[in-house]
Structure 1
Amino acid sequence: MNIKAPRGTQDLLPETTGNWQYIEQKLTDLCRRFNYKEIRTPVFEHTELFQRGVGDSTDIVQKEMYTFQDRGGRSLTLRPEGTASAVRAFVEHKLYGLANQPVKLFYFGPMFRYERPQQGRMRQFVQFGIEALGSADPAVDAEVLALAMSAYQELGLRSLKLVLNSLGDAESRNNHREALVEHFSPHKEELCADCQVRLEQNPLRILDCKKDKDHPAMATAPSILTYLNEESEQYFAQVRNHLDNMGIDYVIDPNLVRGLDYYNHTAFEIMSNAEGFGAITTLSGGGRYNGLVEELGGPETPGIGFAMSLERLLMALEAEGIELPVADGLDCFFVSLGDQAEKAAVRYTYELRKAGVQVDKDYQQRKFKAQFKAADRSKAKYVVILGEEELQNNTATVRNMNTGEQEDVSLQQLVAYMKKELEGEN
């Protein structure tokens, strides 16, 4: 039986995982500088969390979740996104009681959505996300936007577009909702089946429909910006002012809505303008969600966050021709001849590894020449040669593979010698 990975999933093989590790390290360091701390939540949660936290009217809840019953009859769901889980943990562990507010979190992890697999969209995909919980300061919105843009820029991306909108507060959204219902109702029968339901449940989601995006009514739909009350207008203006002061470029799109029900006020997406990136240009998105903590049983707590797909990030890097500086060679490779030399190589390989040197040796009992070929394939900077003659002299021959120069080194001094040579190259 030929068993393959399930459709919409992928194996990340050793020749690619170096890029993933590099990106994760860079993003972790960026979060450290912005004072965000890592959180790790379960891969599956109670289904109700996403029904309440993401929203019953969303495509995620209605069509895309992997939901199952455990042996106790409980309905569980593989997490389709990270915010609901992070907020659930925030509430469950009473992080709102910490002295330092806002609580600033980041996470990496696999997410699961049942949708048609295509380039950059998998059924299991990896997200990096951040959440800032406990402040309604527009400066926090600007900080989140700055971190998101920095994440891409520090990895070398330049063809970026930040798209911004305000969804307003509850009053503004209710007024806009009524206007949308009035606008789309005459066209109800012309809309897709999903949008006919959305018209009753959450008409804002019609603006995000892929099927009806070219319907004439979409172009003339009332803008949320027209219905912002004074408080919402001032909030949006302050966010934009902070971005202007930081020199972060953006464009305003009044039709930008997010695919989750919990957003209000600031909403945004970052897109790639790189040639050849693909028809779906969105790299990441996020926004403010001031009612989500209360919805999940916590006290009134404002929040904002965003999430990015690492798969789409890697696609954007490829589209811009950016190669990550991932070191894939060894510091050192042992070549040994003879049984006693083989035993010594095992010992000194271990000693070097304990000292922090990246080292490997031959485990196939290959000939001398074949071992050197293995060292070349491993892109080793140095080769340590051990034979019967070297052992009799209590030495090893160390060859610099870049220059071809070699030197006999006492075995007692081998570790110190290698560390010194490698430090000189850095």
Structure 2
Amino acid sequence: MPLTYWCEHAWLPDGVADGVLVEIDGERIARVTRGEPAGAERLPGLTVPGLANAHSHAFHRALRGVTQTGRGDFWTWREQMYGVAARLDPDGYLALARAVYAEMALAGITCVGEFHYLHHGPDGRPYDDPNVMGHALVEAAREAGLRIALLDACYLTGGFGEPLSGAQIRFGDGDSERWAVRAEALAAAYEGRADVEIGAAVHSVRAVPPEHVPVVAEFSHRHAAPLHAHVSEQVAENAACVEMYAATPVRILHEHGALGPRSTAVHATHLTEVDVELLGRSGTHVCMCPTTERDLADGIGPARSLFDRGAPITLGSDSHAVIDLFEEARAVELDERLASHRRGHWRAAELLTAATAAGHTSLGFPDAGMLVPGAWADLVTVRLDTVRTAGAGATPEAVVYAATAADVHSVISGGRRVVSDGRHVLGDVGAMLAETIERLR
């Protein structure tokens, strides 16, 4: 039976409108009109399309508030991350990911791109079902009310020319052909499931030698599926790549068929002008993760230059130091202000598009992230009367520059009510997170 919601204000493709009726039939929007609420359920505030978290590592959530003590850099943080990775099993990962995805839903996220490389047992041996960890992530997303693009990562080496060691052993399949066999079985398990997209990932050029990249790219092409890769997050990584291969990571991905409209370069922080051109001309998405990039002291990527050259920008919470895509969106602008000493690089509507339509498209859901008939029925309503948003008005600027995840009070994901009055259907998400993280530690 169709359901109708009356949005006090709604961000539509042509701007913000008042008094918008959204009729939902099943998982999709059936009709969008203007009118009086009549018997429709009222959504006070500004309703926007569901947000897409284009880059997530669910288990990193256990590191929040732990890795921020003392000095260090990306590489010291990575050792702490490996310690968490070594302790996870399928049941523990299901519980943790379910809580993390519920936290995302509370923040207005209706689709997650999970960059998944925690494949096998701690000793590197596959589980009886070699994809059981991936299945746990899909189940967790469904229970939390999110769609998921499970981006299964090929991870073969511990560094340029270095074997896997320590916790990394459980990440690898041995070679790209064995990765492809496992990934094909994973894709087959979810064939026909509209809310699950099985994509591929090149963990990074340091973890996947160039000769193996075409195998991962071929999987993406064969399945018309997303292909994501960590790219140029660290200056040291770039230098080692050039020393080993006489080419930047972007150049290697370009030469081996891994760039294009279905591809996403994550971070893309330290790029040459040639890199920017290759990403832009190929239409490759670029996922910026500002809260992680500043937490790890990575740097500030050239987001506006990439966008102007033709690379759509998306957003991710990555390590989950913060799960708040409004914060990620405004950080893209604010970080560029720090780097350039100028204001006004982005319009709020451009940043909100990065958090919605562009993000969904990069995850294989091009029919999401818009309040139009036929789109996925994802409605996220932000209150405009909180201490943060009061007086800001019903505008994209109010959402991007004033609101936080705490101002989301209603989330409908794929036609399913997931959040009401700021509370998730699963219950106390804070308690869920505390229990699962404490057990993991």
TM range (shorter): under 0.3
> Which structure: larger Rg?
1
Structure-2-length-normalised TM-score = 0.23
User: TM-score with structure 1 length normalisation?
Assistant: 0.23
